[in-house]
Amino acid sequence: MELYQLKTFVVVADEGNLTRAATRLHASQPAVSGHIKSLEEELDLTLFIRTSRGMELTPAGEKLRRKALAVLNAAEDLENSARDMRDELEGELHIGLNTDPDFLRVTELVAEMSEHHPRLKLHLSQSSSGAILDDVKNRTLDAGFVFYENPYAEVVTTPIHRTRLCVVAPKAMAEHACNCTLSELAELPWVWPAGRCFYRKVLEAEFTALGKRPTDVIQADGEEVIRKLVSMGKGMSLMRIDEAIKEAACGVLVICDLALDLYVDLFFAHAKSRAKDPALKALSEAVKRLWEVEITNRHAA
């Protein structure tokens, strides 16, 4: 029995689907299927029932899943202990970025890690907060920055920064938009954040409280796309105050003074099971120094 077989078993159990499991494992579907078959033959047990809905654990599979997780966690703990004993950290860290690198102080973070841990390689990828939380939970990311509130007990999030949000309007709508209440602004075109974006959650809450909802809406995925559409005159939207001030200085949009008390918290997220990983601890310490905060654990409620 090999650790990679146990990892495949646990991932298939989590996903309930061979295709999704193969994607997470960066392996082919036949390879994943082969790992499961080999493990079942070695254990002389049926671990899954193949159904039209996917892969469902048998009662025996459910019991062994917990033991497999314990074995994988013990192996990871052993590896972490060995890494602690070495003079210099080495390896790779995959980090999710939920917004622009300047705001996240990515250049400073890379410089900090390069100076103190030159043999640690950082892999940075852009994604949404919701997707980053999913990937941290599923261990396809080691850590990430998120706005979205953490729904997972398996993920630890720590608030590291709070910034104000504001409603912005294209320059062409400035005269009308800046003399309206939020309720009246529902009649204007909007660029609406798509998916699980935190900004969408904020806007929905504000308009729901007013009993309103914009009807002329363009769905946009990603802050950069939203900025572009607003600057092109396609509609109103919500933006961080720091980026809104920059765009307003360029003359492409205006900030609406609506006296709204809107904020977004930036969180640093990592898997609870990875808390003892020396490389991840080094990353956490670097984040702590850059944002001048104490990194404390915050699990899902």
User: Looking at residue 43, which CATH number applies to its domain?
Assistant: 1.10.10.10
143 or 74: which leads in pLDDT: 143
Does 184 lie in the same domain as 70? no
195 or 145: which leads in pLDDT: 145
Specify the range with the lowest mean pLDDT, choosing from 25-29, 81-85, 210-214, 234-238.
Answer: 81-85
Q: Answer yes or no: is pLDDT of 212 > 50.
A: yes
Does 276 lie in the same domain as 140? yes
Q: Where are the beta strands (DSSP E) in 48-154?
A: 48-51, 54-57, 91-97, 120-126, 143-146
Q: Answer yes or no: is pLDDT of 295 > 60.
A: no
Does 12 lie in the same domain as 23? yes
Spatial separation of the C-alpha atoms in residues 59 and 28, rounded to whole Å: 27
Contact 138, 153 (CB under 8 A): no
Distances (CA, A) of 182 to 41, 55, 109: 64, 48, 38
299 pLDDT tier (thresholds 50, 70, 90): very low
Q: Please, how many CA atoms are within 13 Å of residue 260, restricted to the half-sphere of its CB?
A: 27
298 inside domain: no
Does 55 lie in the same domain as 36? yes
Spatial separation of the C-alpha atoms in residues 172 and 68, rounded to whole Å: 60
- What CATH number corresponds to the domain at position 246? 3.40.190.10
Alpha helix ranges (H) inside 146-197: 174-177, 182-185
The confidence score (pLDDT) of residue 286 equals: 94
Q: What is the pLDDT of residues 127-178, one digit of tens each?
A: 989 889 999 998 889 999 999 889 999 999 999 999 999 999 999 999 888 8
| pLDDT, mean of residues 52-56 | 85
Nearest CA to 149 out of 205, 100, 192 is that of: 205
Spatial separation of the C-alpha atoms in residues 219 and 228, rounded to whole Å: 13
193 inside domain: yes
User: Of how many residues is the chain composed?
Assistant: 301
Of the three residues 31, 51, 85, the one that is the final residue of a domain is: 85
88 pLDDT tier (thresholds 50, 70, 90): low
Does 96 lie in the same domain as 9? no
242 pLDDT tier (thresholds 50, 70, 90): very high
Question: Torsion over CA of 59, 60, 62 and 66, rounded to 10 degrees?
Answer: 150
The confidence score (pLDDT) of residue 274 equals: 82
Does 9 lie in the same domain as 135? no
84 pLDDT tier (thresholds 50, 70, 90): low
Residue 27, domain extent: 3-85
The confidence score (pLDDT) of residue 300 equals: 45
Q: What is the pLDDT of residues 91-117, one digit of tens each?
A: 899 999 999 999 999 999 999 999 989
Does 65 lie in the same domain as 32? yes
Percent of the chain's residues with pLDDT above 70: 94
Domain count, the chain: 3
117 inside domain: yes
pLDDT mean across residues, the chain: 88
Contact 178, 254 (CB under 8 A): yes
Q: Answer yes or no: is pLDDT of 301 > 60.
A: no
| pLDDT, mean of residues 248-252 | 93
